[in-house]
Amino acid sequence: MEVSNLQRITFNPEVMGGKPCIRGTRVTVGAVLGLVASGASREEILKIYPYLQETDIIAALHYAVWRAEERELPLVAS
């Protein structure tokens, strides 16, 4: 996974409640993933959001994979 793809995902507490969004837009990663999960093609997603690029869709997928693989470990007092 290219780190540059994850740089296309931004967080701003004043935009969409701080949800991860596609680089400076109000399109959330969740919205893109929902469309992918419902069977929408990349072309269909780009028709819905013409200001996105195919790389943005790939970045949303990479972000989802990264989050799915992330593990939280409890802190142990020393």
* Tens digits of residue pLDDT in 36-48: 999 999 999 999 9
Q: Containing H/E element for 53?
A: none
- Contact by Cβ (8 Å): 35, 45: yes
The CATH number of the domain covering residues in 3-69: 1.10.10.10
The domain segmentation of the chain, as residue ranges, is 3-69
- Average pLDDT value for residue range 16-39: 95
Instruction: Flag whether the pTM goes above 0.85.
Output: no
